Structure formats: C-alpha cells, structure tokens
Amino acid sequence: MNKQIFVNLAVKDLDKSKAFFEALGYTFNPQFTNESGACMVIADGSIYAMLLTEPFFKTFVDKPIVQAKEATEVLVCLSCESREEVDALVAKAVAAGGRAPRPPQDHGFMYGHGFEDLDGHIWELAWMAPQA
C-alpha cells in the first residue's frame, strides 16, 4: 500500500483559498470537498492538503489555532521538476494575492523559493539537480 499524506490547514475563507490554489493550477477532489473543507490534490494518489474552515478545524484539536500570519506553525515544502517551475509557482501565488517573504535561494545544486498563501501558511518550493 502506498503511503499518503494529508496536510490539514485552517483557513479563514474557504472559497478564497480554493480560488487562490486553483490559480496556481491545483485541483480539488469534489468527493471530499464541502462548505467546511476542501481536499486539494497536490500529487494525485499521494499528497493532499485539506483546507478546513477554522470552526471545522477546531473540532479536531483542543489547542488554539496558530494564526499563521503572526507565527509560523509549519513549513510545507514541495519538490519541483525545475527552477522554472519553482519561479512560476511563486509568480502565480503572488499574482493570486499571496506574497513571497524571502528572495530565492540558489545553492547551485539546489534552488528554492516560497510563498505565503492567503492565510499566511508558508509553502517552500525546491528543485534539486538530479546529479546531486
């Protein structure tokens, strides 16, 4: 059986969050999407992000929800197939209302950049040279 990962993130406005990630090219599984949450497909069959409204997210935890615009809760890092894909995703995120909090990092064999989504969650993007 293949392992899967479901990253659960609290969002303030589900419709705006869905539109943001759709602008980056991601799709949503309608079978696991409703007014309380949306299943974003990152890598079909293995990687998903569950965007959950804050009230629904609270039903899963006993602690306060971190406000990602004020404190870092997690860094979600996704691999990319090229430096160009890294830059293109960051550009799409910024155009859709996100922000790039830091400049790209170029280490020769590895290239990375990232963005914050509408709720302040940090998405790091990385490309590594195959020979590395």
Global pTM exceeds 0.85: yes
Sequence-distant contacts of 115-118: CB under 8 A, at least 24 apart:
115/89, 115/90, 116/68, 116/69, 117/17, 117/20, 117/21, 117/93, 118/11, 118/12, 118/13, 118/16, 118/17, 118/20
Predicted pLDDT of residue 25? 97
Quote the domain boundaries for residue 43.
Answer: 5-128
In the chain, the number of structural domains is 1
The CATH number of whichever domain residue 74 belongs to comes to 3.10.180.10
The model's pLDDT over 63-121, given as tens digits with 9 standing for 90+, comes to 999 999 999 989 999 999 999 999 999 999 999 999 999 999 999 999 999 999 999 99
